[in-house]
Structure 1
Amino acid sequence: MKKKEAYNEAVNGDEGFAAGEGYPSCEGEPCANVADDGAAAADTMAEDTQDAAGSGAEAEKSDAAAEAAAWKDKFLRLQAEFDNYRKRTLREKMDLVETGGKEVLKAMLPVRDDVERALAAMDKSDDIEALREGVRLIAQKFTETLRQRGVTQMEAAGEPFDPDRQEAVAKFAAGEEKRGLVIDVVQTGYMLGDKVLRFAKVVVGE
């Protein structure tokens, strides 16, 4: 019995916990220190979270700036390439016009030579038939030279009037059977490929 009482006194005495309580009352300094440590730990975690969020935002901002710089570089390069292409195309077009005109004129020179020879022959010869044949050959050669360059003569006489290719300069009462047809060609029209090079001037029946 004495041993049991000594044990209870040791457990429930002033040096132990209060009777009926399993933990200290937290009125002293130790409990307050534990609370302060918990609050400090929470503040530290919040600061770490804020730092992580800030680092993420900075990384996204840096990535966006890098992407914008890359797109700007691509745009500047594309603009420079287009400007070079435009200048090159314009230069090639000008060269083509000049070269094309040069080739046509060069092709006309032999015809010009034939005309000069025909004029010289007219001063020396009285053979009208021979001169006439020479002029006919020059005309044929000129027509062939134009044909080689894509220029062809319109066939308009007797055909229905076509305002897309012909220009009516007069109308002539030619009877019901020739109404709307080309009666006469005042000036021959020419085509360059499938485009009108010169409209034909015609007289239309009515």
Structure 2
Amino acid sequence: MRSYMRAAQAGEELQDANSEARTNQEGLNPDGEEAPVAAEPEAAAEQSQLEARLKAEVEELRLRSAAEMDNFKKRLNREHQEQMRYAAEKVLSDLLPTLDNLDLALQYGSRHDACKDMLQGVAMTRKLLLEAVIKHGLTPLGEEGEEFSPEVHEAMGFEARPDFASGVVARVLQRGYKLGDRLLRPAKVMVNQ
């Protein structure tokens, strides 16, 4: 804004100088009376200085405007990329209970031999659904034996398993999921003592 004002002020000064130069050339002062003749080289030098200053200010204004436009384009592009990356977040979050239910069906159905054939279909359905959501950036979290991390795990309690070291995940109660770098849901786990 200041650059616009300076450029406008410089333009007015240039017009004043041009007007003064004309009246000096005609032998009149701004009041219309005869004025002593000014030295033309002085007026020409002053006018060229004003023109140079005006050109410099216009160039500075042009460069600033170009930089502002470039920054605006970059910010818009960054926001668009961020929005595209996490556009599927709501849909994927809504699919998490479905994955949980398929996991539970596999977990509890494996105890009965009569459910063996049906469990194959459930396992295949879970696999296809998991592959589809992984293509969209969803990453499952929570495996037995991995180091407990409060950034991605929610400890629901402690459990003693001699086959695991202390402070690792002893049992996964509910898987967690990440979308890109964003945690959608922490894994609910039991921590080994």
Compute the TM-score of the two structures, normalised by the length of structure 1: 0.47
Which has the larger helix fraction? 1
Q: TM-score, normalised to structure 2's length? A: 0.49
Larger Rg belongs to: 1
Higher RCO, Cα 8 Å, sep 6+: 2
